[in-house]
Structure 1
Amino acid sequence: MIEIISETRLSSVQDLGRYGQLHQGVGMSGVMDKPALSIGNMMVGNDPNAAGIEIPFFPFTIRFHQTCTFAVTGADTQASLEQKPLLPWWTARALAGQTLTLRRPRSGVRAYLTVAGGIQVDKVLGSRSTQLRGAFGGMEGRMLQRGDRLPLHQDTDRGAGDFGIVPPDEILPLLKDNQPAVRVIPAAEYPLFPPACRQALWQEPWKITSQSNRYGFRLEGTPLLPEKPLEMRSHGIVPGVIQVPHGGQPIIQMRDAQPMGGYPKIGAVIEADIWRLSQIPIGKSVRFIETNYEQGLAALEAVQGYLKQVREMVTLHQISRKTA
C-alpha cells in the first residue's frame, strides 16, 4: 500500500471516468488530464484506465509500504524520491519505506501518480473514480487526506523503470498569440448571441478565475449577453460545454460537471483539448480557436496517434530491458 503523509487538498483517486451513467444522473468524473494518466499507466505496465492519484495542490508526500514501480506525469512538480530528484514524465522504482515528494509545479497544474498494478479501491458503477457529488468511488467517495492508506495490487514491482516520455504539450503544442489555447465548436445557442459577443469569444483572452475547480472553470472577460434574455429548460450537458449564465461570464463544464443544466450554450471545448485546459493555472488566460466537428475528430485522432506511439516506445523499452 501507499500512505499519504503530508497534508493534502483536493487530491483524489481517479481513472479515465465513469461512462454510460449520464441517463441515471451520474456524471463522468475521471481525471482532468486523460493523456497524463494514460501515459503514466503505460509507463508502469498498466492498462491506460487503471486508477491513479490526481494531485492539484503541493507539496504532496507519500510513503511506499511495498516496493513499487511508479511514474509521475502531468505538471512538472520537481519530484524527488528520498531527496533524489526525478525528471518530469519519468518512471522509477521505490523500495518499501521510501518517500516520494511532489513540490509546487514549475509548469502545469495537476500531477498524476501511477503505480504498477493501479490503485485497488473498489469499482462503483464500473469506475474507481471519485464522485464527490454522490460521495462514492475512490477513497470513500472523498478527497484524500493525511493518514490515508491506499491498497495496491500484489504485482507492484516491475523493475527499475528509469525512463521517460516527451510530454504531449511538446509534441502537440497549441497557442494563439503566444497564449494557451483550446479549440471550440459553436454550440446550439451560439447564433442567439450578437456579432460583437461572438467576435469577443474568438478574439479576446479569457481569464480562469479562482472560482474554478473540477466542476467547472469560471472565466472572466467581456460579458457575453444574448440579443434577448433566454429562458431554457434544463437539458443534458457534458464536460467541455461552455455555458453562459445571466451575468455573461462563461463557465466551462469540467470532469465533475453535473449531467444537466439550463444556461445557454455558446460553444464546447473539443474532447481532444480538455487536458490542455486542465493544466492552465488559476489567474492565467486561455484563448479559443473556432473549429468544427470534423476538425475536432481529427484532433482526437492526433492525440490517439501520439498515445499509440508512446505505447510502442514503452513496449520497445520493456523488450530491450528483458534482453539486456
Structure 2
Amino acid sequence: MARLIVEQAGVGVTVQDFGRKFFRSLGVPLSGALDPLWLAAANALAQARENTAGLEILLAAPALRVESGPLRLGLAGELTGILTGADGSQRSVAGWSGVVLHDGDVLSLRLTRGPAYLGFSGGLDLPEVLGSRSTFLRAGFGGLNGRALEKGDALICAAAEGQGFSAPPFTHENEKIARGKIRFIPGPQEARFTRDALRLFAVSDWRVGSDSDRMGMRLSGPRLTHGPAGANIVSDGATPGAIQVPGDGQPIVLRADCQTSGGYAKIGCVISADLGRLAHFCPGEAMNFLSVSHDEAAQARNDLREGFARWRAGVAPAGADWDSNRLWSENLISGATSGD
C-alpha cells in the first residue's frame, strides 16, 4: 500500500464516491460526488475502478506529500499542480492527466474552478459507512471521520508503478442543448403554481446564490407565485435534482446531500443527465431551464453514457498520439457507465 500525508488541506475537500444508494428509506441522504462522471474520469486517469473513492475539491486544492510510494493520481477538472521531487526538482502537472509519484514527492495542486476531482490508484482505502465511503458533513460520518480534509491526514491507496496517462477534457456540453440550459421534467406539484409562475420559471434567468452548498443550490430571480393551496405540502419524497419552491418564491435545486423528504411544492426535477452539469455553476452565474419529456430525458442519459464511454476509451499513456477518427468510429456503448 502507498501513503500520502496532507501538507495543506485546501478548502471544501472531501472524500466522495458514487454515494449511498440503498438507505434513503431510512432518511440517509445519497451524498457522493456532485459530478460522478468527473470522479469516474479522475479514477480512470489513475487507472482505478471508476466508482472508487477519491477527493472532491470545491474551493481550494490541497498539497500532498508521498510518504510511501509509488502511486498514481488522476486529475480531472480545472486542476493543475507543481510536483516537487525529493531531490528538489520541479515540474508542472497538467489537468486531465494521471501522474505517478514516488517517495518524498510533494504535489501542490491549484484549482481554477470547482468542482474538480482527484483519483487514487486503487481508490482511497477507507472503511465503508452504510455501503459508501462518501463524506456526509452534516451528520459527520463517512470519509475521514465525517469531515473535510485536514493538515496531517494520512491517505492510503494502492501502490502503482509505470507511466502516466492523459486524455482531453470530458465535457457535458453537446450540440443538442444551449450552454446554460438545465433540462428538467415538470412536476410533481406544478398544479400548486399559477400559470404565470410556470411560464416565468421556464423563460427567466436564474442566478446561483452564494449560500448554495452540497445540500441545495439556491437561485434568485422573479418571484414564483403559488396558487391558493400555497407552498406547503404534506411531506413526500425528495431526490437530488428536485426543484423546491418555498413561500418566498425562490427555487432551491436539491443536490447530493439533500434530505430524503420535504414539505415544499416542487415545480420540476432536473434530469439525471444534467445533475453533473449543474455542479459546475458558481455563485453569481446565470442559468436557464428547459422543459423536456421523459423520453427526452432517457435519451439524454443514454447520450451521456455513450459520450463518457468514448472519452474513457481515449485515455492513453501520456504523450501518445490521438487517432480521433478511429476513436469516434468505434461502438463503445458496452463500456458505458454513469453515476446513477
Q: TM-score, normalised by structure 1?
A: 0.90
Match for residue 23 of structure 2? 21
Match for residue 72 of structure 1 among 67, 75, 81: 75
Letter of the 1:159 partner, please give it. G
Q: Deviations over 1:239-287 (max 9, x none)?
A: 0000001101100000000111100000111111111111111111111
Aligned partners of 2:65 and 2:106 also within 8 Å: yes
In the TM superposition, residue 221 of structure 1 has moved relative to its aligned partner by 0.4
Asked whether 1:163 is paired with 2:166, we answer yes
1:182, CA displacement in angstroms?
Answer: 1.2
How many angstroms apart in 2 are the aligned matches of 1:141 and 1:61? 20
Distance 1:104 1:73 in 2: 11
**Does the C-alpha gap of structure 1 residues 151 and 33 become closer, same or farther in structure 2, counting only changes over 3 Å?**
same
Residue 144 (structure 2) aligns with: 139
Q: How big is the shift at 1:133?
A: 2.8
For the residue of structure 1 that corresponds to 2:233, the secondary structure is: coil
Shift of 1:45: 2.0
User: Is the contact made by 1:116 and 1:158 (CA closer than 8 Å) also made in structure 2?
Assistant: no
Distance 1:317 1:8, change over 3 A: closer
1:1-324 superposed matches below 5 A: 1-65=3-67, 66-74=69-77, 76-82=78-84, 83-105=90-112, 108-153=113-158, 156-169=159-172, 172=174, 176=178, 179-228=179-228, 229-314=230-315
Q: Deviations 1:72-122 (Å, cap 9, x if unpaired)? A: 102x133332352222211111122212222241xx421100011110110
Per the alignment, in what secondary structure is the counterpart of residue 8 of structure 2? coil
Where do 5+ consecutive residues of structure 1 fail to align?
A: none
Give 3-state SS (helix, strand or coil) of 1:111's partner.
strand
Q: Deviations over 1:219-247 (max 9, x none)?
A: 00001121221431211111000000110
How well do the aligned residues superpose, as a CA RMSD in angstroms?
Answer: 2.0
Provide, for residues 24-68 of structure 1, a one-character-per-residue CA deviation record: whole Å limited to 9, x for no partner. Answer: 111100000111011111222211110000011124211122221
CA distance in 1, matches of 2:276, 2:175: 12
- Percent sequence identity is 31
SS in 2 for 1:214: coil
User: TM-score by structure 2 length?
Assistant: 0.86
Distance 1:139 1:81 in 2: 25
Q: How big is each residue's C-alpha offset from its partner over 1:136-162, in whole Å with a ceiling of 9 and x where there is no partner?
A: 110011111111112222xx2142113
Distance (Å, rounded) in 2 between the aligned partners of 1:175 and 1:206:
17
Q: Give 1:311 shift.
A: 3.2
CA separation of 1:109 and 1:175: change in aligned 2, threshold 3 A: farther
Structure 2, gaps ≥5 residues long: 85-89, 322-340
Number of aligned positions between the proteins: 311
